[in-house]
Amino acid sequence: MKTKVLGIVWCATLWAVLSACSADKKEQQVIPIYQQWHTVSLSFIGNATNEQAQVNPFTDTRLLVRFTHQDKSYVVRGFYAADGDAANTSADSGSVWQVRFNPDEVGEWQYQAYLHQGKKIAISRSLDEGTLVKLKENSGRFKVVESDKKGRDFRAKGKLIAKGRYLGFSKDDKPWLKVGTNSPENFLAYVDFDDTYRGELEHQHEDAPQADTLHAYAPHAKDWQQGDITWGNAKGKNIIGATNYLASMGMNSVYFLTMNIGGDGKDVWPYTGYEERERFDVSKLEQWNLLFEHMQQQGLALHIVTQETENETMLDGGDLGFHRQLYYQELIARFGHHLALIWDLGEENGPVDFSPIGQTPEQRRAMARYFVKNDPYAHPVYLHTHASEHHRQETLPEVISETAITGLSFQVDQPVNVHQAILSWRKKAQEKGNNIQISMDEIGIWQEGLKPDADDPEHNILRQQVLWGSLMAGASGTEWYFGYNFPHNDLSAEDWRSRHNMWQQTSIAEQLLSQFQLNNFQPQDQLTVRKDDYVLAEEGKTYLVYLPSATGVNELQLSLGAYTVQWFNPRQGGALANGTTAQITTSQNNFGLPSEDPELDWLAVISLLK
């Protein structure tokens, strides 16, 4: 009898302990734990609907979620997510609404979700407008701890922000030079994305011939790695492999259009159809986002170009009307959480002879200010320019005084014009009180751009005049455009290995220049007697002199002191090497020659002797 009582007591005690442990475990599970700079994706259950519902879930229903941490608060727009897994199921109906948030602080966060209905409420940010729709579990909290990521993964670096004339990350004091690809501009015209096809095939631009099929990126199938993301029935491997290859070459950005209706490719749009403007393709956009998530982990920034010159007045005649706001809100809601993202207002923006109907200065300002006001993450805002100086003179004077525009995505017609064009427009912007960034993102002539390695193996002119010519002028980066007259062109490119040699040379330049605190440097070409070299200097400390050929009179005006001279090979990279002269001074300022191949291009690194 005693034994039985003891057994009952022991069992009761064990039950109490297990219950307490279970309660503790449940309490721990109540507060999810995320990492800083990692995506927090929350789902909410509302009324069942679909992409074609009479009450349009994209225009007449709107989810806003307030995230609060201590004295910091963000209101983030959500989006209709169909069944919550549309990337894999291709669903166009369901009752799930989602929001994506990227927490920038460690500690506890709280959130409160509000789903409203009302006519065209989607573009309103007022919580007092519309009819409140009941959501299940519309509030909660979570804890954020420090990120454990390292290397190229942007979650190790924080958010990409403007830092003077350069971009940089919130957790890193070094400059970040944007280097990557500008082609294919219709990168998202990919066969494995739902409902992707070409429209208006009978209206092809003679200077921009379309490919016969959508992108498949078959040459990059071998670059997909086990464990990489896919969707549906193992779809997406080739485009994921393509981004793996680009990252492996040291590139860190991809330029692409999210809408080219009426433009060159006519094969990329976020809507449910080519003629649609008020309903979005949920599964396609979710598949885009899976690709973008992978790119961020690979260290590839999203240079999102929202329109091109042929369609810049398609939405609301170019004004910031309902359809333009709806489009921007959807982009911000679905993709704004990504850490390294640049909003580009439009390719070749503004009227020109071949596209005479273009946006006005007032419309450009309105677009830029809209992103600044509505993007909770304050991503950089760029504007892509026309190629000729004549056209830039027509469109840029008003742009460079608009502080809502972070940078110019420069297009230049001839390589020989790159260096001076960047110097000239940086000076004009500074005279208006705006230290605007300029990135060299599309090089002409338009038919050629960056030729394949098979046609121009060494890329000497583009390396010298465009890559180093832009970066030595203080450019914030360089992206490569492929032209139209060669294989793997700006619309048909399937294999990024076609420009393998230039990716190598671009990475060499980026790695060397990123070692310096570039915001302390200024272009100072006048410090040398030569007219064909480029000088970027932190006067009195470090002088970088790029010479297209090292032979010649290599003299440099110096501040007082003694300086060491070393040489860097921009063709092959590697360590700094000694040349014919080890040291120079203010009075003995000929810095000599590299120890080999002086007839080729070299970078002299001249540093104050400590």
Question: Is the pLDDT confidence value at 103 over 80?
Answer: yes
28 lies in some domain: no
18 lies in some domain: no
Question: Is the pLDDT confidence value at 96 over 70?
Answer: yes
Per-residue pLDDT, averaged over 109-123, amounts to 98
Terminal Cα distance for the chain, rounded: 90
Give the Cα separation of 81 and 196 in Å (integer): 19
State the pLDDT at residue 415. Answer: 98
State the pLDDT at residue 17. Answer: 41
Give the Cα separation of 603 and 599 in Å (integer): 13
Which of 516, 543, 567 marks a domain boundary? 516
pLDDT tens readout for residues 374-423:
999 999 999 999 999 999 999 999 999 999 999 999 999 999 999 999 99
100 lies in some domain: yes
State the pLDDT at residue 202. Answer: 56
Q: Is 133 found in the same domain as 275?
A: no
57 lies in some domain: yes
* Strand, helix or coil for residue 363: helix
* Strand, helix or coil for residue 583: strand
In the structure encoding, which two tokens stand for residue 65, read together?
């979620």
What is the domain count for the chain?
Answer: 3
Q: Is 46 found in the same domain as 78?
A: yes
Question: Is the pLDDT confidence value at 123 over 50?
Answer: yes
Q: Is 539 found in the same domain as 430?
A: no
- 549 exposed, middle or buried (CB, 10 Å; 0-12, 13-18, 19+)? middle
pLDDT tens readout for residues 509-529:
999 999 999 999 999 999 999
State the pLDDT at residue 173. Answer: 85
377 lies in some domain: yes
Q: What are phi and psi of 511, to 5 degrees?
A: -65, -40
Mean pLDDT, the chain, whole residue set: 93
Give the Cα separation of 242 and 71 in Å (integer): 42
Per-residue pLDDT, averaged over 527-538, amounts to 96
Its domain, for residue 101, covers: 33-148
Give the Cα separation of 30 and 515 in Å (integer): 45
In the structure encoding, which two tokens stand for residue 377, read together?
């993450």
Q: Taking the CA of residue 201 as centre, how many other CA atoms within 13 Å lie in the half-sphere pointing to its CB?
A: 6
State the pLDDT at residue 174. Answer: 87
CATH number of the domain encompassing residue 62: 2.60.40.10
Q: Is 243 found in the same domain as 100?
A: no
Q: Is 93 found in the same domain as 159?
A: no
Percentage of the chain exceeding pLDDT 90 = 90
Question: Is the pLDDT confidence value at 30 over 70?
Answer: yes
Q: Is 110 found in the same domain as 46?
A: yes
What confidence tier does 355 reach under pLDDT thresholds 50, 70, 90? confident
pLDDT tens readout for residues 287-333:
999 999 999 999 999 999 999 999 999 999 999 999 999 999 999 99
Which of 498, 516, 534 marks a domain boundary? 516
Q: Is 527 found in the same domain as 499?
A: no
**pTM over the 0.85 mark:** yes
Question: Is the pLDDT confidence value at 68 over 80?
Answer: yes
DSSP string, 323-341: HHHHHHHHHHHHHTT-SSE
Which of 148, 170, 199 marks a domain boundary? 148
CA distances, 288 to each of 12, 41, 153, 334, 606 (Å): 55, 16, 18, 10, 46
CATH number of the domain encompassing residue 200: 3.20.20.80
Q: Is 496 found in the same domain as 408?
A: yes
Q: Is 261 found in the same domain as 140?
A: no
6 lies in some domain: no
State the pLDDT at residue 211. Answer: 61
Q: Minimal CA–CA distance to 563: which of 535, 579, 582?
A: 582
DSSP string, 183-246: --TTTT-BTTSTT-----TT---TTSPPPSS-B--GGGGGG--TT---BTTTB-HHHHHHHHHH
Provide the residue type at 114 as one letter: Y
State the pLDDT at residue 206. Answer: 54
Q: Is 530 found in the same domain as 506?
A: no
Q: Is 159 found in the same domain as 144?
A: no
* Per-residue DSSP letter, 594: B
Q: Is 170 found in the same domain as 103?
A: no
Residue pointed to by tokens 């004009």: 428
408 lies in some domain: yes
63 lies in some domain: yes
Residue pointed to by tokens 């209706």: 261
What confidence tier does 171 reach under pLDDT thresholds 50, 70, 90? confident
Q: Where are the alpha helices (DSSP H) in 31-173?
A: 86-89
Among 168-177, 333-342, 452-461, 555-564, which stretch is predicted with the lowest mean pLDDT?
A: 168-177
Question: Is the pLDDT confidence value at 16 over 50?
Answer: no
Per-residue pLDDT, averaged over 468-472, amounts to 98
pLDDT tens readout for residues 245-287:
999 999 999 999 999 999 999 999 999 999 999 999 999 999 9
State the pLDDT at residue 210. Answer: 57
